[in-house]
Each structure stands twice: as structure tokens, then as C-alpha cells.
């Protein structure tokens, strides 16, 4: 496979930022005759989620259920929890080879395959959920990443879940300065570990289910998972006292539906559109579930344990952002795919953050001020 | 029709906040035999949008196109622009009677039919797009409103578009204090006009296409439409100099797909799920289009005209919020539907705004600070 075909597609993509694009549709359209519509199919979807993880496994199940409902039961998909067919963090590998037709996972688990995988998932000091959707769907981001995935992994992906801005995790001591981070052992994943290393933090790779134990035994000093709703399920509020915000390394995290490209291309057009529609719904509804569940969960954390909610000191945020952009430069120097996507991504990030400064931020700022005034 | 059946349903709904609910599905399921799946249908969708209005008419077209694609062309829907079959602001009326099967409109155009219609669309000092999705989809909001619409209007609705936080509109003079609002003539719609009246502003009801002319001739001193992307199309930046933010009266505005209930109930289940899926996509993608289009549009407004971007003075926001909650009390005293929805809505608003204070707001705050620091 010629790795550079990605860039040919990219050049076309840049001129089509506002046009959504679905590779393989024309292909399938000509290959499948009209009267072969709505064939009976049975597919498998492997996931990175243990059944415990409410909102993450929910999204995968939702995709499968909706596809079955929209095809009147003709297109059946069986969803497998992490580890049952393939290990949690090898979903992408097995969809890439075509061993299974579908996967539901988070692309930043695969930054060792390519650091550019982080763009579709979560980037430190990157985009919020609304900004990420704008970039992916309507600024050519998904189009670029789909060309990249097609070329590198022989699969096609659709966003199918989002957590929103995550929390900054649980610490067993207060962080009052940048110096307090030095020497900490912390559980985190993806590019974040490399940023943390620049701040003197030692990263420990642990699965979600291992964080509680490691905090309690002192194997780690800090750990981050998602936010109140998911963290509560892991009991992290009973393992460490200081709960920090915001989670600057995951201003949003996208989970995605990945489909083996030959399997995708074998689908009639109506099934392709139906699969994509189920992913749209999962993306929208998962975020809504987090925003509906997090307020009550945060209150319950307070009720159940003696926790302290704290903002990271500005000094930490500034140092972390500086370290993040240093890391971007280092990665760009050695990875052409990452280097190809980064500049347009940064440009969009700055412009949409400026826009949100006079819209979402300006409004949230007032409503938070008003809420504090009423409560005090 | 017994108006109070709504409240019976509401009582059930309150206990099912996390369960999404689709009235009529079981009904249709038993009525339609398995082998009648994917029948050929032709429906009409009337809209409130002139073809000019990019993102608003786009959402209606998207719904129709997706439904056709997902049914392999068997379920065809013709979309009519405002005024072609029914007037722009009478879409809901004609779907309610069943004269047309579908409509795409904004529910706050119909607050004279019931002030409770504003909850599904836009409320001054209400919810942002993310918060509104959380309330509608995952906190029982849509369930309540669907029971209300079914009972009052014999229709079912699905969110199918969102603008995000709107701008505060165009003023021909600077607003430095609350006193500056007194005596202004301003174009606005829905409940906002009643809040504005409490601040001494005289509201003028005008269609989108009439705002430019009215500003230029001095018939009005101020006018608001949506935000940079849509306002630019109307040329408002060439009609008034001062562009205010945030649009506290529309922290988000939902456009919705409305379907005559008998028509909805006649659909086989797979078509119901497909119609709803198309609405989910329209809701997600329209917001992404606004966030992708607004940054560049705002820059172009600067390039094309001598405009000044200003935040409303805090004094104005505080007075407007006070007036808004006074209005809510007045409406609640005379409208049982509004009074039934308001308390739970306020409770959710306060809790989700508190949550966003440590997530979306905290992150956007830092990114805006960082952006200003880099640019200065």
C-alpha cells in the first residue's frame, strides 16, 4: 500500500471542507442491484468496554440495536465486551485486518500505531465536543481522517460517542504549584503521558478497573478516568480526596465505530446510510447522557465521601499547554501524517475558540456568576 | 380532547427520566404486519424557512434526503419552503390538523398557542445546546413535551436542528447601561419580546427578510436574527454598527421536525426509527455547521463593515434575568402546562450549569485566556 495516497486525498479534502463525504458509497451503489436491497446480514462488533462501563458500552449497544430496528431485523450485529473476542486495546487492529466487521473503541488507544489517531478522539488542549463535531463533520476533519484510516488501516470510522470535557482526575495531595507535580506517579493514557512526563510526572498505564486499587495501595499518587458519572462507578472518590478540573488532556473524547473497509464496501447504500445514522445518534445521545448524569453524580460524590473539588492552578495549565505544543512539534518532525493534519487543526481550534469566546463561554460565564450569586 | 391527560403522562414521565420514549411505536408495531415492511410512501414537509436561509432549510432538506436514502427511495418526502403551501409561522397549525404529514419549524413561533412551546425551542436564560440535548433526550424533557404535544396538538416532534448560543443582535447605538435600552424599538420574537418590554424596549415583529430595511430606515433601532453565519446573509452588519453578545434570550434554539400523530402512527416501526434517526442527524449536524461557519463569518463581518463587537453590560444581563423569571411566574400563574414543566426545568438548568462550571466553562475560560495571551 502506498502510504502517501492519503496526501493526494487530503489535497482534495482541503477544498471541500463543507461537504460531507462517504468513501465507497458510489462503489457499493454500482455493485449492488436495486432488488438486492435490505439483505439479511449478521455481523460482529468488538468493543473496548467491559459491560460495567455504562455510557461507553451503551453507545456500542445503541448502534447495534438501531441498525436492527431500521432494517426491520434484517441486519443483525452482535456486540462483544472487551476481552471476549479480542483484547480491549486491540479492537482497531482486528477490524483493520478484517477478522471482525466492526469495532467500537477510542482511537487514542492506538497512538502507538500512529500518533495521528489522537485527532479523531482527544488531544490535550484541543477541541470541546461541540468544536470537535464542527471540525469533524463540517470543516473536513472526518474526511481527512477517513482518507487516513482507509490508507493506513483499511477501515472506515464514524464518531459514535463523546464524553464532553473530562475531569482532571483524583490526587492524594493538593496541587498548589507546578512543582507539586514533580515526582508524582499518575495513571493516564495516550499523548497525555508524554505531556505529563515533561512536567515531571511518571505515567503508569492501568486499565479502568485497576485505578482504585492502585490509588488505595499508594502504587500511584493520582489517577484520571472520565468524570463524575463514570468515576463514581469505579469508586475513585473513596480512594483519593482531591478532585481536579478541568481535564485539559481530554476537552472531549470521541469514541468511534470502526468498520473493515471491504465489509463496508459490500453493504448496499441504504445499509451504509443506516449504519452512519446509528453512529450519529450514538454520538449525540452519549454526550447528552454524560451531561444529564454528571450533575447528580458529582453531588453524590460529595454525599458519599469527603472530597475537595479544585481547579488546577493557572501555572500548571500554562506549563501543560506549552509542553503539549512542544510535543506536537516533536511528533510532527517524525510523523508525516500528524504533521499534515496539525496546522489546519490548530487554525480551526483557534478560530472556533475565539467564536465560542463570544457565544458559549460568554453565556456560561454569566450563568455561572448568576448561580454563585443566587447560592451565596 | 381532555387537556389534563398530559399531566397523567407527566407523572409517569418524571420517574423515567433516563428512558427515552417513543409514543405510538407499540401501536404501529401491532397494526403493521411484518411483511408490509418498507412500503412506498410519499409525504409532504412544510417549513418556516425561505430557501435563502442556509442552515435552517438545510436541516429540513437533510431529514427528507436521509429518509429517502435509508429506505432505498421508498419513503419520499417533498420539502416546501415557507409560504408555498402554508405561511412560515403556521407550520405547526397545519401539521396539527393533519393537512400535511410533516413540518420543520421553531416551536417558539407558537407561544401564542401555548407558552410551554418555548421549552422545546429557546428560553431566555435557559439551556445551551449541550444542556438542552441533555434535558430533552436524557432527563425526560422530550418525553414530557411529546406527551404535551400529543395531547394539545395531535402531533409528535423530534429536535432536528440547533443554532448554539446566538448573538445579542445589532444596535445603532452603544448600550452602556440599562437606561440605554429604554425607548428602543427592537425586532425580536417569542417570550423575549415580553422580557424586553419589562426593560422598556418596544418589540417590533418582523420576518428575517425585513430586518435590514427596518434598521436602515430607522423604523427600528436594533434587531436580532441568529449569529454571524446567518446575519451575514441578511447584510445586518451593513445596517447597524454595534454587535452585542451573548444572546441571552436564545442560549440555543432548537428547530424541530413535527409529524401529524395519525400519520406517524400509520408508519411501520422501521420507518419511525428511520425518521427519528434523520432528525438526530439534523440536530447534530446543524449545530456543527453553525460552529464551523460562524468563526469565518464573524471575521468576514469585520472585513466587510466597520463593526464593533461588545458584551452586554452586566447590569443589563442581571436586569434581563430578573425580568425573565418574573415573566415565568406570571405565565405559570395563568398557564398550567407551563407551570407543570417549569420547576423541574429550573432544577435541571441550575444543576447542569453548575456541572458545566467545572467542565465546559472551566476549559473554555482557559482556552480564551490563552488565545488572548498569544494574540496580544
A285 and A225, same domain (yes or no): no
| Contacts B165 to A, Cβ<8 Å | 359-360, 362-363
Residue of B137, B356, B371 lying closest to A285 (CB–CB): B137
Helix (H), strand (E) at residue A242? strand A242-245
- Do A280 and B159 form a contact (C-beta atoms < 8 A)? no
> CATH number, domain at B267?
3.40.190.170
Q: What is the pLDDT of residue A20?
A: 31
pLDDT in tens, B135-189: 999 999 999 999 999 999 999 999 999 999 999 999 999 999 999 999 999 998 8
A158 and A48, same domain (yes or no): yes
A172-177 — which CB contacts under 8 Å span 24+ positions?
A172/A215, A172/A218, A172/A221, A172/A222, A172/A240, A172/A241, A172/A242, A173/A221, A173/A242, A174/A242, A174/A308, A174/A310, A175/A242, A175/A244, A175/A310, A175/A312, A175/A313, A175/A316, A176/A313, A177/A313, A177/A315, A177/A316
Q: List the 126-185 stretch of A: residues with Cβ below 8 A of B.
A: 128-131, 133-139, 164-167
- Do A327 and A198 form a contact (C-beta atoms < 8 A)? yes
Taken in order B8, B12, B15, B17, the sign of the CA dihedral is: negative
Cell 434554539 found at? B253
CB contact under 8 A, B133 and A248: no
Half-sphere exposure of B130 (CA within 13 A, CB side): 31
Q: What is the pLDDT of residue B375?
A: 64
Q: List the 222-241 stretch of B: residues with Cβ below 8 A of A.
A: 227-228
B224 and B354, same domain (yes or no): yes
Residue of B136, B292, B355 lying closest to A138 (CB–CB): B292
Do the domain assignments include residue A82? yes
Taken in order A169, A175, A177, A181, the sign of the CA dihedral is: negative
| Contacts A352 to B, Cβ<8 Å | 291-292, 295
Q: How far apart are CA B164 and CA A35, in angstroms?
A: 42
Q: How far apart are CA A202 and CA A180, in angstroms?
A: 13
| Contacts A356 to B, Cβ<8 Å | 291, 364, 368
With CA atoms as reference, report the closest residue to A279 among A258, A305, A310.
A258
Order of strands across the sheet with A102-105? A75-80, A41-47, A102-105, A254-260, A155-162
pTM here is: 0.91
B36 and B134, same domain (yes or no): yes
Nearest chain B Cα distance for residue A202, angstroms: 24
Closest residue in chain B to residue A360, using alpha carbons only:
B165
Q: What is the pLDDT of residue A375?
A: 64
Give me the domain span that covers residue B243.
Answer: 169-251+307-369
Nearest chain A Cα distance for residue B351, angstroms: 6
φ/ψ of B171, rounded to 5, equals -125, 145
Nearest chain A Cα distance for residue B243, angstroms: 11
CB contact under 8 A, B70 and A66: no
Beta strands in A68-188 (DSSP E): 75-80, 102-105, 155-162, 169-171, 185-187
Nearest chain A Cα distance for residue B88, angstroms: 27
Cell numbers placing A350: 483557534
Q: How far apart are CA B256 and CA A96, in angstroms?
A: 39
With CA atoms as reference, report the closest residue to A231 among A243, A214, A217, A219.
A243
A147 and A257, same domain (yes or no): yes
B182 and B322, same domain (yes or no): yes
List CB contacts of B92: < 8 A, sequence separation 6 or more.
B103, B105, B107, B109, B110, B113, B117, B153, B155, B258
Cell 463535531 found at? A133
pLDDT, mean over chain B? 90
B11 shares contact with chain A (CB less than 8 Å): no
Give the DSSP per-residue string, B14-50.
HTTTTS---TTHHHHHHHS-GGG-S--EEEEEEES--
| Contacts B166 to A, Cβ<8 Å | 359
Beta strands in chain B (DSSP E): 41-47, 75-80, 102-105, 155-162, 169-171, 185-187, 202-204, 222-223, 242-245, 254-260, 308-311
CB contact under 8 A, B165 and A359: yes
Do the domain assignments include residue A3? no
DSSP category for residue A88: G
Do the domain assignments include residue A296? no
pLDDT in tens, B280-317: 999 999 999 999 999 999 999 989 999 999 999 999 99
Residue of B247, B361, B366 lying closest to A317 (CB–CB): B366
Is pLDDT of B11 > 60?
A: no
Q: What is the pLDDT of residue B206?
A: 85
Residue of B17, B71, B298 lying closest to A355 (CB–CB): B298
φ/ψ of B160, rounded to 5, equals -150, 40
Do the domain assignments include residue B1? no
| Contacts B296 to A, Cβ<8 Å | 351
> CATH number, domain at A314?
3.40.190.10
Q: What is the pLDDT of residue B307?
A: 94
- Do A105 and A268 form a contact (C-beta atoms < 8 A)? no
Beta-bridge mates of residue B157:
B258
Do the domain assignments include residue B18? no
Nearest chain B Cα distance for residue A9, angstroms: 21
- Do B123 and B106 form a contact (C-beta atoms < 8 A)? no
CB contact under 8 A, A270 and B71: yes
Q: What is the pLDDT of residue A192?
A: 93
A359 and A233, same domain (yes or no): yes
A37 and A186, same domain (yes or no): no
Do the domain assignments include residue B205? yes
Q: How far apart are CA B37 and CA A270, in angstroms?
A: 15
Nearest chain A Cα distance for residue B86, angstroms: 30
Q: How far apart are CA B318 and CA B177, in angstroms?
A: 11
Residue of B291, B361, B365 lying closest to A131 (CB–CB): B291
Is pLDDT of B194 > 80?
A: yes
Q: What is the pLDDT of residue A273?
A: 98
Q: What is the pLDDT of residue B52?
A: 64
Among B265, B291, B317, the domain boundary falls at B291
Among B243, B261, B291, the domain boundary falls at B291
pLDDT in tens, A32-65: 344 568 999 999 999 999 876 678 899 999 999 9
B113 shares contact with chain A (CB less than 8 Å): no
- Do A246 and B359 form a contact (C-beta atoms < 8 A)? yes
CB contact under 8 A, A291 and B34: no
pLDDT in tens, B217-239: 999 999 999 999 999 999 999 99
Q: How far apart are CA B165 and CA B159, in angstroms?
A: 16
Q: How far apart are CA A236 and CA A211, in angstroms?
A: 8
Cell numbers placing A19: 461537504
Q: How far apart are CA A174 and CA A244, in angstroms?
A: 9
Alpha helices in B201-268 (DSSP H): 211-217, 228-234, 261-265
Three-state SS sequence of B142-179: HHHHHHHHHHHHCEEEEEEEECCCCCCEEECCCCCCHH
pLDDT in tens, chain A (376 residues): 333 333 334 333 333 333 333 333 333 333 434 456 899 999 999 999 987 667 889 999 999 999 999 999 999 999 999 999 999 999 999 999 999 999 999 999 999 999 999 999 999 999 999 999 999 999 999 999 999 999 999 999 999 999 999 999 999 999 999 999 999 999 988 889 999 999 999 999 887 889 999 999 999 999 999 999 999 999 999 999 999 999 999 999 999 999 999 999 999 999 999 999 999 999 999 999 999 999 999 999 989 999 999 999 999 999 999 999 999 999 999 999 999 999 999 999 999 999 999 999 999 999 999 998 876 6
CB contact under 8 A, B364 and A371: no
CB contact under 8 A, B366 and A165: no
Q: What is the pLDDT of residue B376?
A: 60
Cβ-based neighbour number of residue B205 at 10 Å: 10
Domain count across chain A: 2
Nearest chain A Cα distance for residue B124, angstroms: 11
Is pLDDT of B270 > 50?
A: yes
| Contacts B135 to A, Cβ<8 Å | 292
* Complex ipTM tops 0.95: no
Do the domain assignments include residue A10? no
Q: How confident is the model at residue B34 (pLDDT cuts 50, 70, 90)?
A: very low
Do the domain assignments include residue A151? yes
Q: How far apart are CA A243 and CA A307, in angstroms?
A: 7
Cell numbers placing B159: 429536535
Alpha helices in A158-210 (DSSP H): 191-198
Q: List the 69-108 stretch of A: residues with Cβ below 8 A of B.
A: 69-72
B208 and B62, same domain (yes or no): no
B51 and B194, same domain (yes or no): no
**Surface-to-core class of residue A26, CB atoms within 10 Å of its CB (0-12 exposed, 13-18 middle, 19+ buried):** exposed
Closest residue in chain A to residue B133, using alpha carbons only:
A288
Q: What is the pLDDT of residue A14?
A: 38
Give the DSSP per-residue string, A265-298.
HTS-HHHHHHHHHHHHHHHHHHHHHHHHHHHHHH
B274 shares contact with chain A (CB less than 8 Å): yes
Among A231, A262, A291, the domain boundary falls at A291
B127 and B199, same domain (yes or no): no
B55 and B144, same domain (yes or no): yes
Cell numbers placing B305: 463593515
Query: First-to-last CA distance in chain A?
Result: 63
Q: How far apart are CA A250 and CA A192, in angstroms?
A: 9
**Surface-to-core class of residue A135, CB atoms within 10 Å of its CB (0-12 exposed, 13-18 middle, 19+ buried):** buried
Q: How far apart are CA B337 and CA B342, in angstroms?
A: 9
Q: List the 28-57 stretch of A: residues with Cβ below 8 A of B.
A: 34, 37-38
- Do B38 and B72 form a contact (C-beta atoms < 8 A)? yes
Amino acid at each position: 500500500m502506498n502510504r502517501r495516497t492519503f496526501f493526494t486525498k487530503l489535497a482534495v479534502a482541503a477544498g471541500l471542507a463543507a461537504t460531507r463525504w462517504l468513501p465507497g458509497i458510489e462503489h457499493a451503489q454500482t455493485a449492488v442491484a436495486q432488488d438486492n436491497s435490505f439483505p439479511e446480514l449478521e455481523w460482529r462488533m468488538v468493543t473496548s468496554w467491559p459491560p460495567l462501563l455504562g455510557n461507553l458500552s451503551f453507545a456500542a449497544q445503541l448502534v447495534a440495536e438501531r441498525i436492527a430496528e431500521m432494517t426491520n431485523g434484517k441486519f443483525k450485529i452482535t456486540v462483544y465486551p472487551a476481552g471476549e473476542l479480542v483484547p480491549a486495546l486491540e479492537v482497531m487492529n482486528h477490524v483493520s485486518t478484517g477478522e471482525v466487521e466492526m469495532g467500537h473503541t477510542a482511537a487514542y488507544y492506538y497512538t502507538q500505531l500512529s500518533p495521528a489517531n489522537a485527532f479523531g478522539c482527544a488531544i490535550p488542549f484541543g477541541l470541546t465536543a461541540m468544536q470537535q463535531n464542527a471540525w469533524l463533520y463540517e470543516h473536513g476533519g472526518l474526511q481527512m481522517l477517513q482518507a487516513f484510516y482507509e490508507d493506513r488501516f483499511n477501515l472506515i470510522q464514524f464518531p459514535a460517542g463523546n464524553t464532553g470535557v473530562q475531569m482532571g482526575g483524583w490526587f492524594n495531595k493538593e496541587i498548589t504549584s507546578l512543582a507539586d507535580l514533580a515526582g508524582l506517579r499518575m495513571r493516564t493514557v495516550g499523548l497525555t503521558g508524554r505531556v505529563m512526563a515533561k512536567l515531571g510526572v511518571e505515567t503508569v498505564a492501568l486499565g479502568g478497573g485497576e485505578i482504585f486499587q492502585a490509588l488505595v495501595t499508594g502504587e500511584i499518587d493520582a489517577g484520571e478516568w472520565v468524570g463524575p458519572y463514570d468515576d463514581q462507578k469505579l469508586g475513585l472518590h473513596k480512594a483519593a480526596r482531591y478532585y481536579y478540573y478541568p481535564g485539559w488532556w481530554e476537552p472531549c473524547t470521541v469514541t468511534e465505530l470502526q468498520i473493515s473497509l471491504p465489509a463496508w464496501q459490500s453493504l448496499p447504500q441504504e445499509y451504509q446510510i443506516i449504519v452512519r445514522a446509528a453512529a450519529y445518534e450514538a454520538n449525540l445521545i452519549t454526550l447528552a447522557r454524560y451531561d444529564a448524569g454528571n450533575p447528580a453524580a458529582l453531588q453524590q460524590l460529595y454525599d458519599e465521601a469527603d472530597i475537595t473539588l479544585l481547579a488546577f492552578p493557572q501555572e500548571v495549565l500554562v506549563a501543560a499547554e506549552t509542553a503539549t505544543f512542544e510535543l506536537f512539534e516533536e511528533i510532527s518532525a517524525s510523523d508525516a501524517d500528524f504533521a499534515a493534519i496539525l496546522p489546519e487543526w490548530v487554525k480551526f481550534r483557534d478560530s472556533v475558540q475565539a467564536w465560542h469566546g463570544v457565544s458559549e463561554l460568554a453565556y456560561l460565564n454569566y450563568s455561572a456568576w448568576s448561580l454563585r450569586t443566587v447560592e451565596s
